[in-house]
Structure formats: structure tokens, C-alpha cells
Structure 1
Amino acid sequence: MRAFEDPERWDTVARHYEATAHPFTARFAEAALARVPLDARSRVLDVAAGTGALARAAARTGAQVLATDFSPGMVARIAAAGLPNVETRVMDGQALALPDGAFDAVFSIFGVIMFPDWRRGLSEMARVTRPGGTGVVATWRDEGAASFLLLGRIRRTLFPKRAGLPMPEAVRALSTPQDFARELVAAGYRDPEIAVVVHDYVLDVAALADPETVFGLSPDWTGLDAADQAAVVAEARRMAAGQVTLRIPSTALIAVACR
């Protein structure tokens, strides 16, 4: 089992994820929400919700939101926010225990793309979207984003002969708008529209004093020995060139499709 397929790993990093990755992914969640009109009558599902960047933003529209994730630790972080119109359930997005056509809008922001059977995940999203409803899926471009993208670039500079772990299959398969649209149609959606959205991940260089908080979510980091990790940190500082922050432009594709 790869690390990102293990719910216990996500349980372990949930609090750290909420503090570091959540604020960044929330920017893409807001971009996705801007493409779908919601109101207090809307029923919304967030699949593989993580710590709920999309679910919390959708709740601010007044919509009734169900946030699901296979990691109890992630679901607990969403529940801890105490939002009255957000329900949480631990659930495998590859086999949603939900009725057909139950939701007006179904979202997955960088979630389904991590699934071993991501095509099944897309099909399950389509199944629970009502006819005339909307499905929204966000994926990264090939090299990933944020500290994962930075670490990959540094590894290729410092250790060019060492292969890093590949990105999840779906990230590679959905990395062009044409491929992304084709897979959404195969899953049961229609008329997909794909937007390219770029935001900078702003790394506080001071955080490199505790590099686990920067790179610790990546298996490519945990596989390095102490000397190599120190070299990675030194290279990141060099790239910052004395600035207090290091900006890492990160590209996502956000697809909106009809059911």
C-alpha cells in the first residue's frame, strides 16, 4: 500500500495538514466554488474532504454539506469546526454509502485523484449527483504542488540519479484538459469545462528550521537519510536567496461538469 492510500497515515498527519496544506488548498476550493452557484437549498457532498477546505467554504453559502473521508482523523478535524450545516462521515469514496442522485453538487478537491481506483471514485461521484446537478473535481498538474513540487525539484538537482516516487496515477492521467474531460464523460458526467488555476504556495523560510512541518507529508522526504534531508533544507534556503519567503507557483486543473 502506498502511503497516500493508508488512512492511518492521514490520521497521523491530520492536525499538521490542517495547519499547513489546508490554507493553500482552500484557495483552489474557493476557485471551484466560484464556478457553482449554491444557496441554502443546495445539498453538497465533499468527497475525500481532508480537513474540509471545500466543505467549510461551501457551508458559508448556507448549503447543507456532507463531508466524507476515509481517514477518521481528517473527519474529526472537520467536525471540530462545529459548523451547524456540515455533517461528517467516515466513508470510502470508491464505494459511497449514499443513494443515487442525492446531491445537487458533488466536489472532490485533490481527493479522488489519490484513490487506487480513481475511475471508480469519479463514477461514484457521478452516481450520487442528481440529474441536472454538478460535479467538480480538482487535480494537480504532473509534478504536483507546493512543498511536494519544491521537494521534487530539489531532489532532481541534488540526486539526479535517484528516482522519486511517482505521482498518483490519476494525476498523470488527468494532466491535460482533453484527458480530464474524457474521463469525466466516461464516469457519467457531460459537458465538462476545465479551468487552469495557478496559486503560489508561500513557504515561510523560517519553517525550514523544522523541516518536518514543510516536507513531512511526502514519502520522498521520509525516505531520505539525515544528511540528505539537511542537503535539501540547505538547497531550499539557497533558492530563497535571503528572502523571508519562497514562492512556489502551483498549477491545478478544476473541472466542472453536468450530470
Structure 2
Amino acid sequence: MREFENPDHWDAAARHYEKTAHPFTARYAEAAVARISLGSDSHVLDIAAGTGALALAAARTGAKVLATDFSPGMVARIAATGHPNVEAKTMDGQNLALPDGGFDAVFSIFGVIMFPDWRKGLAEMARVTRPGGHGIVATWQQRGAATFLLLGDIRRKLFPGRDGMAMPEAVGVLSDPGNFAREMILAGYRDPRIEPVTHDYELDVGALDDPDTLFGMSPDWTSLNDGEKAEVITEVRQMAGERSVLPIPSTALIVVAQR
């Protein structure tokens, strides 16, 4: 089992993820919510919800949201927000314990793309979307985003020929908009519309003083020896120059499709 397919990995990372990744992914979640109309009569499902960036954005429209994740630790972080419009449950997105057609909008923001059987995840999304409702999925482009993107680029520069972190299969397939549209249709949706959305991940250069906390979730970091890690840190500092924040432009593809 790959690390990102293990709920224990995400349980351990939940608080760190909420602090570091959640504010960044929330920008894409808000972009996804803005692409459809939601209101107080809307029923929304968030699959592989993480710490709830999408669920909370959807709830702010007045919608009633069920947030699901296979990690109890992630679900606990969502529940701790206490938002009255959000219910959080531990659930496998590849086998949802939910009836057919129960939701007006079903989202997965950088979630279903991590599934071992991501096509089953997309099909489950379609199954629980009501006819006329929407399925919305966000994926990273092939080289990833934020610190993962930065580390991959630096590894290729400093250590050419070395294998880097293997991205999930779905990221490679869905990076192509034509493939993305085709997979949504095969899952049971229609009329997919795909748009790129780019935001800068703002890397606090001061965080390089504790690089294991900053980069520790990435195999591109943990697979390096101490000398190689020092080379990476030197390269990042050189890229930043006199700046206290290093922007890392990160592009996602967001698809909106109808059931």
C-alpha cells in the first residue's frame, strides 16, 4: 500500500494538513463552489474531504453538506469546526454507504484522484448525484503543486536521472483535459466543462529552518540523505533571494459536469 492510500498516514497528518495545506486548497475549493449555484435548499456531498475546505465553502452558501473521508482524523477536524450545516462521516469514497441520486452537487477536491480505484470513485460520485445535478472534481496537473511541485523540480535539477515521487495514476491521466472529460462521461456524467485555475502557494522562507516539518509529507524529501537535503535547502534559498516568501504557481484543472 502506498502511503497516501493509508488512512493512518492521514490521521497522523491531519492537524499539520489543516494548518499548512487547508488554507491553500481552500482557494481552489472556493473556485469550484463558485462554478455552480448553491443555496439553502441544496444538498452537497464532499468526498475525500480532508479537513473540510470544500465542505465549509459550500456550507457558507447555506447548503447542507455531508463531508466524508476515509481518515477518522480528518473527519474529526471537520467535526471540530462545529458548523451547523456540515455533517462529517468516515466513509470510503470508492464504496459510498449512500443511496442513489441523493445529492444536488457532489464534489471531490484533490481527493478522488488519490484513490487506488479512482474510476470507481468517479462512478460512485455519479451514482449519488441526482439527475440534473452536478459533479465537480479538481485535480493537479501532472507535476503536482506547492512544495511537492517545488521539490520535484529541484530534484530534477540537482539529481538528474534519479527517480522522483510517483504521482497517483489519476493525476497523470486527468492532466489531459480530453482524458478528463472522457473519464467523467464514462463515470456517468455529461457535458463536462474543464477550466484551469492557478494560485501561488506562498512558501514562508523562514520555514526552511525546520525543513522536515515543511517537506516531510513528500517522498521526494524523505528519500534524500542529509547532504542532499542541505543541497535542496540551499537551492530554495537561492531561488527566494531577498524575499521572505517564495511564490510557487500551482495549476489545477476543475471539471463541472451534469448527471
Instruction: Name the TM-score class by shorter chain.
Output: over 0.9
What residue is the counterpart of 1:18 in the other structure? 18
What residue is the counterpart of 1:100 in the other structure? 100
- 2 CA distance for matches of 1:213 and 1:127? 39
Q: Extract structure 1 runs of 4+ deviating beyond 4 A.
A: none
What residue is the counterpart of 1:251 in the other structure? 251
1:144 matches 2:144: yes
Q: Aligned pair count? A: 259
Q: Secondary structure at the match of 2:249?
A: strand
**TM-score relative to the length of structure 1:** 0.99
Shift, 1:159, TM fit: 1.1
What residue is the counterpart of 2:130 in the other structure? 130
Shift, 1:240, TM fit: 0.5
What residue is the counterpart of 1:225 in the other structure? 225
Cα RMSD after superposing both structures: 0.7
What residue is the counterpart of 2:184 in the other structure? 184
Q: Secondary structure at the match of 2:28?
A: helix
- 2 CA distance for matches of 1:39 and 1:171? 31
Q: Deviations over 1:204-258 (max 9, x none)?
A: 1001111123211112211222222222111111111121110100010000000
1:35 matches 2:35: yes
What residue is the counterpart of 2:44 in the other structure? 44
The amino acid across from 1:216 in the alignment is G
Contiguous gaps of at least 5 residues in structure 2: none
Q: Deviations over 1:142-198 (max 9, x none)?
A: 100000000001111111121012110000000111110000000000000001111
The amino acid across from 1:50 in the alignment is G
Matches within 5 A, 1:163-178: 163-178=163-178
Contiguous gaps of at least 5 residues in structure 1: none
**TM-score relative to the length of structure 2:** 0.99
* Contact in 2 for aligned 1:3/1:219 (Cα 8 Å): no
Task: Tell me the percent identity.
Answer: 71
* Contact in 2 for aligned 1:174/1:180 (Cα 8 Å): yes
Q: Deviations over 1:48-96 (max 9, x none)?
A: 0001100011111111000000011111111110101100000110000
* Contact in 1 for aligned 2:152/2:165 (Cα 8 Å): no
* Contact in 2 for aligned 1:94/1:115 (Cα 8 Å): yes
* Contact in 2 for aligned 1:102/1:129 (Cα 8 Å): yes
The amino acid across from 1:34 in the alignment is A
